[in-house]
Amino acid sequence: MKIAFPYMGTAPIALDALVRAIGADVVLPPKPTRATLELGARLAPETICVPFKVTLGNMVRCLEAGADTLVYVTGSWSCRFGYYGRLQSQILRDEGFQFRLLELRHDRIPAIVGEVRSLNRGRMSLAVINGLRAFRIGWLKSTAVDEVETRFRRSMPSALDPGACRRLFDSVLDELRTADGPAAIRRVRSSARRSFAALPRNGRTRTLRVKLVGESYCVVEPFINFDIVARLGEMGVLVDPFLTAHRWLGFHGFRLGKSEVKRMRKLSAPYWRYCVGGEDQNSVGQLLLAAQDGFDGVIHLHPFGCMPGTVVQPTMAKAAREADIAYLPLSLDEHSSETGILTRLEAFVSLLEKRRRGPQSRY
């Protein structure tokens, strides 16, 4: 069985290790590019969201590379994400591709266990052993990647040479990709801590802080958001995304972090009483939490045409005014221009610096 799954941020590093440990081969597509997006946009419905188009282009590349099984997390919740697997499969079969669709849903757990068993020569005992080993190695890689991403975000604004910081980050991720066991992962983590701590600093002591909220894929995937974390880091801004690839796997894959979801519901209740879909309620709650925690601003990313992301935008603007925190919404699609996004980011950072220097500054 040659398995492929949608590419999203750094999640493939852990998922690749997990699937291989279970006993299957993995076909990973190249990182998303403009060509991937154009391919997906050509096959997808015109008005569907940009994450759908990018992941559809990814899947075409995987099938062309030999994948015979496509794996999706699916469901019947309000965001279109839950339908990606079924809709993309229909489009790909109409294009003449032949493959198996494997849906990861709570009501299909017995079937998923059966698939794992078949990968282990039909022996349940071997499937259990390899399954536990897979989850351990996947979890260790995921937490290691999350730690490295955190160090990168914190180092960029104060790095004397942001380019060197970026090269170190990419190098450590490559090492984690090839780390073949718990001991190797621990060695990479220890080495990364020393390397990031040794980076020369630029002397900046008071860094602007921005919270990143919005639709999951737009927040986590650097190709879609024009590498916003690194770009703002180069401008001296520390970015704290409400969601990372590791946290996404925990939230949506294993239903972790329910207490945080409840906290966001309580915080957002005066402005947004019910979840319409996606990350709308989470975004309002995270904006208000960012104001309480002294962040300078909030950037809200969502796909153009995303219903939850669009309808919650006026409410977030109102909440930001009343909480006295700067707010920048960015709507993204295949026509978004890097120059246009960078111009808006530069203007937003200038605004934040002005607020810091102003007579009503909170600092």
181 within 8 A of 329, measured Cβ to Cβ:
no
Question: From edge to edge, which strands make up the β-sheet containing 69-73?
Answer: 25-26, 2-4, 69-73, 100-104
d(CA 62, CA 23): 19
Task: Report the alpha-carbon distance of residue 316 to residue 300 in Å, rounded.
Answer: 9
Q: What is the spatial distance between Cα 223 and Cα 360, in angstroms, rounded to a whole number?
A: 37
Report pLDDT digits (tens) over 58-83.
999 999 999 999 998 877 666 777 78
The answer to whether 55 and 83 are in contact (CB under 8 A) is: no
The reported pLDDT for the residue numbered 257 is 64
Q: How many C-beta atoms lie closer than 10 Å to residue 14's C-beta? A: 24
Radius of gyration of the chain (CA): 21
pLDDT digits (tens, 9 = 90+) for 140-178: 999 999 999 999 999 999 999 999 999 999 999 999 999
**CA-CA-CA-CA dihedral for 328, 333, 334, 338, to nearest 10:** 0
Q: Among residues 239, 226, 215, which one has the least CA distance to residue 150?
A: 239
Dist CA 330 CA 65 (whole Å): 34
Q: What is the DSSP letter of 256?
A: -
Q: Max CA-CA distance within the chain?
A: 71
Give φ, ψ of 244 to 5 degrees: -120, 175
Q: What percent of the chain has pLDDT over 90?
A: 69
| pLDDT tens track for 274-327 | 888 888 899 999 999 999 999 999 999 999 988 888 899 999 999 999 999 999
Only one residue has tokens 């890097």, namely 338
pLDDT band at 57 (very low <50, low <70, confident <90, very high): very high
Q: Would you state the pLDDT for residue 347? A: 97
Distance (Å, rounded) from C-alpha 35 to C-alpha 92? 17
Q: What is the pLDDT of residues 269-285, one digit of tens each?
A: 999 988 888 888 999 99
Averaged over 93-122, what is the pLDDT?
Answer: 87
Across 186-200, average pLDDT: 97
- Cβ-based neighbours of 83, under 8 Å, separated by 6 or more: 74
Dist CA 114 CA 116 (whole Å): 5
